[in-house]
């Protein structure tokens, strides 16, 4: 690939900003996915240890104690709450997260492709421009007094040499112009698509974050509400067990 | 230690039952402590990952979005809720758990000591009883016709031999009786203490389980209630952000 001067590069500050946003968005999404996955693992971990603690209560709870069956029901129900909470987090937050992030690799590849097509386009334009520049120089040369070499050629050849040079230069220039046109078309097609898609993707992040965190917050709210109730129920059963035990002290 | 016959052992079925209860109680307490500790570790783990997920929300929440400050406040407050929940579980459940279990090693050592003292007591009694038995045999012997060996002794020695044997047996028996008295006293002292303490300790488990699980359930109830509120607040903020975003679409 040709090294091009700064002035040669097609500037598109808005596009550059879109790409920066895209990278930021991808980074944020990736981090969110990672943190959400870690959170789900922790939910599973806390569920497991909560379950063990509940089962411990069930085991030590003697058959003749007040509310033995209630305790079993509460333990079963809290377990179901945990399972439900975890499953819904997976369904409503993690899966839509995966879908959202699934859009990025294709667009990333197309941003890279656009970069390569821009280099092609810049290179074609540079080539064409240098030929244009040469043409102007030739025209200047024709207007100028002939060179020593030209002077050395026989008089009859002078015109033919001139015509040959002009024709050759025109051919190269036409070819370069065609190449430039093609390169421009390829670039502009991919560029136009991305210029539409990137801001739209960037804009979609707000709704996505809202949905994700509303899902999590909603599921949490419900989970905590239900768990709070279960714990209140357990508290009540234990209060009655305490009363039963205090009013019927065992014969020592 | 002497092998004693089954009939020699001091039977105390009630005490055996107390020891069985003690072992059950210790096992239950140890399991409860282990499960509670694991639960506390899981609470810390879930707190950490919840914090990371919240911080992720804070980071992606752009300054111009509706409720940026509210989000920061909610994130800070949920973090404080987690810290408070964990700390109170330690203070109200784990520490009293440690105090409760702290009673067991001393009693366990005293149960073992009682076992050794019972062996001493049984052994002393067995020894005394065998001397008692020997005395009866001697008395029978005196009443019986003299043996060939006694017949071989000169006549004047016969009475002295008899008297000497009786005195020696009496001395041994008195010593064995004293030993038995001492062994019995030592055993009965430790036995009496344990017979009071073990049923009382066993009885205390009910109140202890009630307190422990009421602490946990109460703290959970409060934690879930407050967390539910926080999540409701977050949900409201996000709904408004969604409205703001939908009514002010960015210029693409």
What is the structure's pLDDT at B3?
Answer: 46
- The percent of residues in chain A predicted with pLDDT above 70, rounded, is 86
From the number of C-beta atoms within 10 Å of its C-beta (0-12, 13-18, 19+), residue A72 rates as middle
Query: A74-101, pLDDT tens digit by residue?
Result: 999 999 999 999 999 999 999 999 999 9
Between chains, do B214 and A207 touch, taking CB under 8 Å as contact?
no
**CA terminus-to-terminus distance, chain A:** 96
Q: Which of B25, B34, B37, B49 to mutate to test the interface with A (most CBs of A within 10 A)?
A: B49
Is the distance from CB of B206 to CB of B100 less than 8 angstroms? no
A163-170 own/partner pairs: CB under 8 Å, 24+ apart: A165/A138, A166/A138, A169/A131, A169/A134, A169/A135, A169/A138, A170/A135
Question: Reduced to 3 states, what is the DSSP secondary structure of residue B147?
Answer: coil
- In sequence order, what are the residues at sequence separation of 6 or more whose Cβ sits closer than 8 angstroms to the Cβ of residue A29? A97, A100, A101, A104, A205
pLDDT tier at A8 (50, 70, 90 boundaries)? very low
* pLDDT tops 60 at residue B39: yes
Average pLDDT of A179-199?
94
What is the structure's pLDDT at B9?
Answer: 55
| HSE value, Cβ hemisphere, 13 Å, CA-based, for A103 | 18
Instruction: Please state, in angstroms and rounded to a whole number, the distance separating the CA atoms of residues A108 and A19.
Output: 9
What is the structure's pLDDT at A166?
Answer: 79
Say which range, A188-197, B45-54, B72-81, B139-148, has the weakest mean pLDDT: B139-148
pLDDT tier at B134 (50, 70, 90 boundaries)? confident
Q: Which residue of B has its CA nearest to A222?
A: B228
Between chains, do A217 and B207 touch, taking CB under 8 Å as contact?
no
Query: A160-176, pLDDT tens digit by residue?
Result: 777 887 788 888 889 99
Q: What is the CA radius of gyration of chain B?
A: 38
What is the structure's pLDDT at B172?
Answer: 86
What is the structure's pLDDT at B170?
Answer: 84
The H or E element that residue B132 is part of is helix B104-143
Between chains, do B41 and A53 touch, taking CB under 8 Å as contact?
no
What is the structure's pLDDT at A167?
Answer: 84
**CA A187: distance to chain centroid?**
22
Instruction: Please state, in angstroms and rounded to a whole number, the distance separating the CA atoms of residues A150 and A148.
Output: 5
Average pLDDT of B147-153?
64
pLDDT tier at B219 (50, 70, 90 boundaries)? very high
Is the distance from CB of A42 to CB of B48 less than 8 angstroms? yes
Give A101 to chain B, closest Cα distance, Å: 15
Is the distance from CB of B239 to CB of B71 less than 8 angstroms? no
Instruction: Please state, in angstroms and rounded to a whole number, the distance separating the CA atoms of residues B153 and B151.
Output: 6
Between chains, do B218 and A231 touch, taking CB under 8 Å as contact?
yes
Hunting for tokens 């009421």 — which residue is that? B214
Is the distance from CB of A85 to CB of A219 less than 8 angstroms? yes
* pLDDT tops 80 at residue B153: no
Between chains, do A65 and B206 touch, taking CB under 8 Å as contact?
yes
What is the structure's pLDDT at A11?
Answer: 56
Under DSSP, the state recorded for B146 is: P
Which of B60, B61, B228 is facing A221, going by the closest CB pair?
Answer: B228
Average pLDDT of B143-160?
65
What is the structure's pLDDT at A126?
Answer: 92
Q: Which of A53, A67, A219, A242 to mutate to test the interface with B (most CBs of B within 10 A)?
A: A53
Give A180 to chain B, closest Cα distance, Å: 29
Between chains, do A214 and B239 touch, taking CB under 8 Å as contact?
yes
What is the structure's pLDDT at A133?
Answer: 82
């Amino acid at each position: 690939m040709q090294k091009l001067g700064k002035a040669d590069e097609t500037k598109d500050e808005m596009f550059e900003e879109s790409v920066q946003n895209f990278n930021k968005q991808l980074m944020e999404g990736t981090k969110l996915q990672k943190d959400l996955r870690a959170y789900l693992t922790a939910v599973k971990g806390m569920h497991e240890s909560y379950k063990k603690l509940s089962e411990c209560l069930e085991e030590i709870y003697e058959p003749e104690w007040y509310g033995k069956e209630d305790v079993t029901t509460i333990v079963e129900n809290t377990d179901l709450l945990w399972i439900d909470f975890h499953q819904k987090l997976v369904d409503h937050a993690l899966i839509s997260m995966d879908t959202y992030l699934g859009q990025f690799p294709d667009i990333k590849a197309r941003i890279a492709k656009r970069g390569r097509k821009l280099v092609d386009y810049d290179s074609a334009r540079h080539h064409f421009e240098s030929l244009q520049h040469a043409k102007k120089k030739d025209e200047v040369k024709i207007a100028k007094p002939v060179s020593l070499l030209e002077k050395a050629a026989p008089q009859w050849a002078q015109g033919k040499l001139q015509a040959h040079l002009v024709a050759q230069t025109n051919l190269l220039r036409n070819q370069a112009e065609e190449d430039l046109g093609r390169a421009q078309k390829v670039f502009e097609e991919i560029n136009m698509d991305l210029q539409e898609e990137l801001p739209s993707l960037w804009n979609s992040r707000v709704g996505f974050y809202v949905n994700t965190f509303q899902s999590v917050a909603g599921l949490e709210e419900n989970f905590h509400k239900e768990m709070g109730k279960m714990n209140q129920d357990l508290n009540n059963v234990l209060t009655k067990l305490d009363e039963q035990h205090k009013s019927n002290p065992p014969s020592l």
